[in-house]
Structure 1
Amino acid sequence: MNITLKQLKILEAVVEFNSYTDAAKALFMTQPAVSMQIKQMEMQIGLPLFEREGKQISLAEAGSELLHYARNIRQQLEEAALMIEELKGLKRGKLHLTMASTANYFAPQLIAAFHHEYPGAQVTLDVANRTGLLDALDNNTTDMVIMGKPPKGHNVTAIRFMDNPLVVIASPSHPLATQKRLIPLKQLADEPFIVRERASGTRIAAEKFFAVHNLQLTTGMEMNRSEAIKQAVMAELGLGIVSLHTIEMELALKRLVVLKIEDFPIMRQWHIVHRNGKRFAAIPEAFKNYVLEHAESLINIVPLEINHKDTP
């Protein structure tokens, strides 16, 4: 098989734009030239890359597999180019981060501190839900991911760098908000909760926690962002379970309260996750080391008593 790097780039462009014409414009080529290159690749492998129905195209199985390798090759070439630049003494480099939406509440502080130390770093930041994070890892389209629970069976390395307490939040006007004594967990069984989508790490952790205590989390409404959950809780639509990192401002303004619940918080951790065996250029490697060394001292969260005790 004699497929060129140019042809792999064309394949990526056609998939990205889902159009030969738009891919040609992006690559400064003609539409017939793009079509010809795709046909040459199909002749090389003996299988169709796209399924065609009228003017609509979609990836065939062979195209999907070849796309995966094309992305890996491009990523490796970009890493090689950065390494060559560093060997030439260029004090700059690129960093591509993908992170869970919840991490976006503290990650800018880390990036700002890192950029102060490495002003030549060019940072690209993507925020995604758990499905998007796993896609970025599987397709090797990012240097590293910042997320809560690392995935299993995805050929990745995960490194813990900071605690991530999950707490129960309520509107200050909620009846439980003024309760001084430790609230039994079973008292929450009938309370409606505003929850994240099912694939969310926070949702998974909360449901597992309740199940371990032989209880079921009562779902009132489902939201796909922590910000939406906070707004719903402030509107007195129910309770919420969120990362403590996400509510610093609301607690300071007394728009939300953290309930004192038996066996809470649910203690999770933040991780840096990347593909096994991934070779980092200097800037991504420096960022990973910087986070592992400085994250806990840079990120300030509201003090929280971890092992609650009942009070008179």
Structure 2
Amino acid sequence: MNLRHATLHQLRIFHAVAQHNSFARAAEALHLSPPTLSLQVKQLSETVGQPLFEQVGKKIFLTAAGATLAEACADLETRMERLTQDLAALQGVERGSLKLAILTTVKYTVPKLLGGFCAAHPGIDVAMLVGNREMLLQRLANNQDDLYIMGQPPDNLDVVCEDFADNPLVVVAPPDHPLVGRKRIAPKRLAQEPFILREPGSGTRLTAEKFFTERGIALRNRLEVGSNEAIKQTVAGGLGLAVLSSTTVVAELALGELVQLDVQGFPLIRRWQVVYPRGKRLSAATRAFKDWLFEHRPVAPARRTTPQG
């Protein structure tokens, strides 16, 4: 066995097959014909001197040798990406790539900032993923992206967190709700109301539940919904109240589809965080976007000083 005879092209093809668990899907992803892909994997297997895959029924699985090689390929991909970033840094910030993962709630704020950054730095390739908190934490643990933007950083990961903007949480209701127009509503009054909540683990839900629990109030959970858009429609339909980021309901409040209730202690002020693994080497493009984010972050309106109820 002499791995010096293995080509980088073969290793990338093998890695794609290992990731997709399918020759056909890997061929489609790499824009190769299945026979060409199979030939490259066969030649790599001959170079290694051991089979890399085994077929059980219609499924393929990595052999022990294949699993070892796949791990090495992942390391190689990471090193090649770092090399690309290092070379781009030598050419200045106008070249490079940026992989960004943001919380679903931040999609009302960050993409606008990202658009301005891309216009100012057209030579930087940008990829942005929008997901829920669970997805972002999993990707963060696997170091799959350059930067993560979320509301509540994880407690169990060694990360750097830099807050850059306010994220006010407000209580919203349908326009015909009896509490609309009432002033200084006591939080205990809401114990009688059904609430539409995000999924367990959501940062918005955790913050809202903490606020009410500290006041001896158990929220009536009428529905759990996995997206802010669905929650807004459900509240507008009269099924309950909700605690949402004010950035997500600007249009609905302006149109009168939802109304913000004047609840004592609200808005709850959280902070958006820029998060990345401690010790991670930020590329020139990543540092440039982080600087842009802080330079162009939205200015928060004056905070209300409503006493806590």
Residue 36 of structure 1 deviates from its aligned partner by 6.3
Deviations 1:176-195 (A, max 9, x none): 1121x211111111211111
Query: Shift of the alpha carbon at 1:289?
Result: 1.3
Q: Distance in 1 between matches of 2:46 and 2:149?
A: 40
Match of 1:306 among 285, 289, 304: 304
Aligned to 1:165, what secondary structure does the other structure show? strand
Alignment of 1:19-30 (within 5 A): 19-24=22-27, 26-27=29-30, 28=32, 29-30=36-37
After TM superposition, the structure 1 stretch with the greater mean CA deviation from structure 2, 68-77 or 262-271, is 68-77
- Match for residue 96 of structure 2 among 87, 93, 96: 93
The match for 1:34 is: 41
Letter in 2 for 1:226: N
**Cα distance 1:293–1:50, how it changes in 2: closer, same or farther (>3 A)?**
farther
Could you tell me whether the CA contact under 8 Å between 1:75 and 1:140 is conserved in 2?
Answer: no
Which position in structure 2 is the counterpart of 1:17? 20
Q: Aligned in 2, Cα 1:235/1:277: closer, same or farther, shift over 3 Å?
A: same
Residue in 1 that maps onto 2:285: 283
TM-score, normalized by length of structure 1? 0.84
Q: Which moved more, 1:185-194 or 1:9-18?
A: 9-18
- Indicate the residue corresponding to 1:218 in structure 2: 220
Structure 1: 5+ residue stretches without partners:
none
Instruction: Note the aligned Cα RMSD (angstroms).
Output: 3.1
The correspondence for 1:236, drawn from 235, 238, 244, is 238
Q: Distance in 2 between matches of 1:262 and 1:195?
A: 20
Matched, 1:83 2:86: yes
- Tell me which of 203, 206, 210 is aligned to 1:204: 206
Pairing partner for 2:264 from 262, 265, 278: 262
Structure 2: any 5+ residue segments left out of the alignment?
Answer: none
Post-superposition CA distance 1:140-176 (Å, at most 9, x none): 2211111110112223211111111111111111111
Deviation at 1:85, TM superposition (A): 3.0
Q: Secondary structure at the match of 1:153?
A: coil
Letter in 1 for 2:271: Q
* Matches of 1:65 and 1:214, distance apart in 2: 54
CA 1:161 to 1:88, structure 2 compared with 1: closer, same or farther past 3 Å? closer
Instruction: Kindly state the Cα deviation for residue 8 of structure 1 after the two structures are TM-superposed.
Output: 5.3
Alignment match, 1:183: 185
Identity %: 40
Residue type of the alignment partner of 1:79? R
* Structure-to-structure mapping, 1:50-129, within 5 angstroms: 53-57=56-60, 70-71=73-74, 73-88=76-91, 91-129=94-132
- State the AA in 1 paired with 2:233: Q
Question: Which residue in 2 is equivalent to 1:251?
Answer: 253
SS in 2 for 1:113: helix
Specify the code of the residue in structure 2 equivalent to 1:158: C
Q: 1:89 to 1:306 in 2, by over 3 A?
A: closer
Q: Give the Cα separation in 2 of the matches to 1:207 and 1:61.
A: 47
Determine if contact 2:2/2:47 at 8 Å carries over to the other structure: no
CA contact (8 A) 1:98 1:144 kept: yes
- Give the Å deviation of 1:56: 2.1
Deviation at 1:232, TM superposition (A): 0.8
**C-alpha displacement of 1:72:** 5.1
More deviation, 16-25/260-269 = 16-25
User: What secondary structure sits across from 1:175 in the alignment?
Assistant: coil
Q: Distance in 2 between matches of 1:259 and 1:63?
A: 59
Q: For residue 105 of structure 2, what is the amino acid of its counterpart? A: T
Assess if the C-alpha contact under 8 Å between 1:197 and 1:203 holds in 2.
Answer: yes
| More displaced stretch, 267-276 vs 130-139 | 130-139
Kept in 2, the 8 Å contact 1:92–1:120? The answer is: yes
Report if aligned partners of 1:148, 1:268 keep a CA contact under 8 Å in 2: yes
Code of the residue aligned with 1:85 in structure 2: it is A
1:128 positional shift: 0.7
